[in-house]
Amino acid sequence: MTSTTPPELPTQMQVSVLRGIGDVAVETRAVPRPAAGEVLIKVGSVGICGSDIHYFRHGRIADYVVREPMILGHEAGGHIVAVGDGIDAGRIGQAVAMEPGVPCRVCRECKAGRYNLCPDVRFFATPPIDGAFAEYVVLAADFAHPVPDSMSEDAAGLIEPLSVGVWACEKVQVGAGSRVLIAGAGPIGVMNVQVAKALGASEIIVSDISPKRLESATRFGATRVLDARTENAADLGIEVDAFIDCSGAEIAVKQGIRAVRPAGHVALVGMGADEISLPVGLIQGRELTITGTFRYANVYPTAIALAASGVIDLDGMVTGHFGLEDVEAALTQDGNPDTMKVIVRPGGVG
């Protein structure tokens, strides 16, 4: 293994480690070195995701169980500081958004372009793979996507959740003139609002139980909001081309499906119960297309282009910054209705 590594790089770094349920602590580890085909990235910003919070509080998500200390964080942006063998040294200094899931590249799903479904994908902060709450990480060079120097490191990190929105909108065929219903006005819901608007949707209706979240949805492009405690689209006679559930709530899924026109599309993005009941007769009678979504594939370039063009506001979604020593506080901000995207800055806040 060879690498192009500036001599001034440190040999030790600080990381935030999840040591057990509700237990995170800063530790010192060796700075990794990039292998052939990899780059070393100095991490600038890492967004807090719901999965990070879930691992922190419960130690598992479905079959993914934290069995040994693990570094959280996968919504990351930074700058390349060293390259491994076979990678152009001219990339050193390049600002990048990190696509956190590197697949095997040779299985059936990878060969078909569905690399998000690769059974051997190595995804940041998914047991047992360490994530990006660290001063430095290594990543396959082609998954370190260049971003304009004008893009902030916060925005570069938030390309990851934006890609979730791009993928979902692509799944339900959002385009010019589309009427879209989105359940859940959290960060992923608002990402979908922004993508739908950028793609030309004429109506973007958002439902949630939080008035504060609905205010945020309106600020980022929703044309109408519904208080899910007292209103639902179907009972109001609303008909949409596409429904994207970002809530994971069974009642929201059922109500949203009822509002979809014949031959419309539904994407299930939010993670709730493992099993729910669905209105099969309605789905059959209207010939609705319903799909789950699992991360994304081949959409990072689109997400970066949208953000770089100015039609997507990622920096405006940031509501707080924390250093590595304050990761526990960062992971508990979700109870505040004013919180949208919380950012961890491994190099320090300032």
Per-residue pLDDT tens listing for the chain (350 residues): 455 656 589 999 999 999 999 999 999 999 999 999 999 999 999 999 999 999 999 999 988 999 999 999 999 999 999 999 999 999 999 999 999 999 999 999 999 999 999 999 999 999 999 999 999 999 999 999 999 999 999 999 999 999 999 999 999 999 999 999 999 999 999 999 999 999 999 999 999 999 999 999 999 999 999 999 999 999 999 999 999 999 999 999 999 999 999 999 999 999 888 899 999 999 999 999 999 999 999 999 999 999 999 999 999 999 999 999 999 999 999 888 889 999 999 999 87
Q: What is the DSSP string of 74-102?
A: -EEEEEEEEEETTS-GGGTT-EEEE--EE
CA dihedral of residues 283, 271, 269, 239 (deg, nearest 10) = 40
Range(s) of the domain holding residue 85: 3-158+314-344
Amino acid identity of residue 27, one-letter, is E
The count of structural domains within the chain is 2
Domain assignment present for residue 172? The answer is yes
122 and 214 part of one domain: no
Flag whether 123 is in a domain. yes
CB 17 within 8 A of CB 7: no
- Identify the CATH number of the domain in which residue 183 sits: 3.40.50.720
Tokens of 34: 């990039």
